[in-house]
Structure 1
Amino acid sequence: MTRMRPHRLASRFTGAAALVFAATAIANAANCSRQDTLGTSRLLAVDARVYPRVGLNNFPETLPLADHEVVLTFDDGPRPPSTQEVLSALGAECVRATFFLVGRSSAEFPDLVRRIAAEGHTAAHHSWSHPMMSKIPFEQAKDDIDRGIAADELALNGVSSKSLSTPFFRYPYFATTPATLDLLQSRGIVVFGADVWASDWENISPDQELKNVIKQLETARKGIILLHDAQARTAAMMPAFLHYLHENGYRIVHLVSAAPRQQNAETGH
């Protein structure tokens, strides 16, 4: 995958800074009273008009992160008890993350979705049934996206709607198609890939997962990190991983949407 050249990225960032940032760097954005925690260093508001698709493992560009800045993202939840364990680990370090929710799990565990939001994390979307969208017809893929959004929103807000509280989406298996990418872009929805992943979908131990993600970070030095809160191995690894980030000078960036709440995900109006 071709990476965006530094001068091009700098030019885009300079011209779009007002759209991308909702807040400047702020100490401890998670409002943590404890001084010895990793914390959340700043908020980054992402606008689909500026960064419609991000993550260098999947797309040509990623978010404008500085050296040693990372974004924590979690897929495939909510799923007890591992999601609760992940939330507890994040809370202990005053860290905020983005959770890409599977709609049928949101429908089954709505209280856990509301806990994610109540603890200050960003609730995003990951389809209804986690299909490989490159292997199904467009209309079926579209329906699965819409049904997932509706289930997530019902769990979050008590109303089943195609409107998005946060217009962020990640494809299951990263299985994009041109038609669905165009659909999401037309709706103002940011599509997330990843820059770093822990390969926690493989049958590995928590220690091996930790080694995997550390090895990639030693090379990348920043980026969007893909994890899965539905995986027990990830829940078990999180305290040690957060300790590693803290001890090695990494800073947590929390993502929010730069766009106002969408009234209709189908049309973008």
Structure 2
Amino acid sequence: MAGEAMSPRRIPRRVVGPAVGAGAVGAAYWFMMSPYSQALGRFPYRGPGDERVVALTFDDGPNEPYTSELADYLDGEDVRATFFQVGRAVERHPEVTRRLASSGHVIGLHGYTHEFTQYLRRRTVADELRRGMGAFAEVGIRPALYRPPWLLRIPALPGLLDEHGLHVVSGEFCHLLEVAQPSPHRIADQALRGAHPGSIIIFHDGWDGKSADRASTVEAVRLLVPRLRAQGYTFTTVDHLLGLPAYQHPADDPTITRLAPADHNR
């Protein structure tokens, strides 16, 4: 009969199959890659409380000249940010990482290769963490913060992070298409609409640890900072926002830079 609801027993398999597949993909995404999922352990995407403070974060660098352009602007505005960097990019631009750390920005680990398949198995994730930490050791830094590439987590990740003394950090994307570089105004407008007290805002100053044009991101940050300040926001780094250490400083390891604590709430 026209308009009659179709009985589940009469739904064609060509309809059921794709629907079930799409549902499974959606569930897997939420479980393993959503900024908000806590299914595989604590994955903080926002700080506590209602104080009007935000943390600006940047993934996938260093990537020149854009990382240095961001640093020039942020330093001039007395804003400290958190940069989750890719090990092989740090190897290409060690002086940029050193400059950021010496200016009071916080450096976190974002893997070594940023290749998707490397983050699906325990063995390859362990290798990414080991090689990534090795790249940072070469510039005298031992991060305590880790953001997975694509926010991808597997069940083995919490145990691996414990072995390396790392704390995992999520966040909220400034704009879902920011990596494709829409106009700076679109990025800044969306980031401003999404900002809340305690927000951890994710930008990208690189692309998968490779070179990429990030001019729109740089300009969007220049637009966003004064607009957030006009709304009463101040800026901090992820470690201060979440009450976590920024770096590991073993007393018996003379190769690790001891960065003096600073007031990051600006």
Correspondence for 1:232: 215
Correspondence for 1:42: none
User: What one-letter code is carried by the residue in structure 2 that aligns with 1:261?
Assistant: H
| Contact 1:70–1:251 (CA under 8 A) maintained in structure 2 | yes
Equivalent residue runs for 1:1-269 within 5 Å: 57-59=36-38, 61=44, 62-132=46-116, 136-154=120-138, 156-157=139-140, 165-199=142-176, 200-217=178-195, 220-230=196-206, 231-256=214-239, 257-258=244-245, 260-262=248-250
TM-score under structure 1 normalisation? 0.68
Q: Distance in 1 between matches of 2:173 and 2:52?
A: 13
Q: Is the partner of 2:179 in helix, strand or coil?
A: coil
| CA RMSD, Structure 1 to Structure 2 (Å) | 2.3
Deviation at 1:65, TM superposition (A): 4.3
Q: Distance in 2 between matches of 1:260 and 1:137?
A: 26
Q: Distance in 2 between matches of 1:235 and 1:81?
A: 10
Q: When the two structures are aligned, how many residues end up with a matched partner?
A: 201
The 1:111/1:64 distance shift into structure 2, 3 A limit, reads same
Q: Unaligned stretches of 5+ in structure 1? A: 1-54, 158-163, 265-269
Q: Distance in 2 between matches of 1:133 and 1:196?
A: 22
Q: Distance in 2 between matches of 1:86 and 1:235?
A: 6
Q: Is the partner of 2:237 in helix, strand or coil?
A: strand
Deviation at 1:260, TM superposition (A): 4.9
The 1:196/1:133 distance shift into structure 2, 3 A limit, reads same
Percent identity among equivalent residues?
Answer: 27
Deviation at 1:236, TM superposition (A): 1.7
Q: Which is richer in strand?
A: 1
Indicate the larger mover: 91-100 or 203-212. 203-212
Indicate the larger mover: 132-141 or 184-193. 132-141
User: What one-letter code is carried by the residue in structure 2 that aligns with 1:79?
Assistant: N
Deviation at 1:133, TM superposition (A): 5.4
| Contact 2:145–2:168 (CA under 8 A) maintained in structure 1 | yes
Deviation at 1:83, TM superposition (A): 0.3
4+ residue runs of structure 1 moved beyond 6 angstroms? none
The 1:187/1:144 distance shift into structure 2, 3 A limit, reads closer
Correspondence for 1:7: none
| Contact 1:65–1:223 (CA under 8 A) maintained in structure 2 | no
| Contact 1:134–1:175 (CA under 8 A) maintained in structure 2 | no
The 1:84/1:101 distance shift into structure 2, 3 A limit, reads same
Q: Unaligned stretches of 5+ in structure 2? A: 1-33, 207-213, 254-266
Question: 1:216-255 CA distances to partner (integer Å, 9 max, x unpaired)?
Answer: 12xx343111111223211121111111111111011224
Question: 1:112-157 CA distances to partner (integer Å, 9 max, x unpaired)?
Answer: 1111111111111001111225763321121012111111221x22
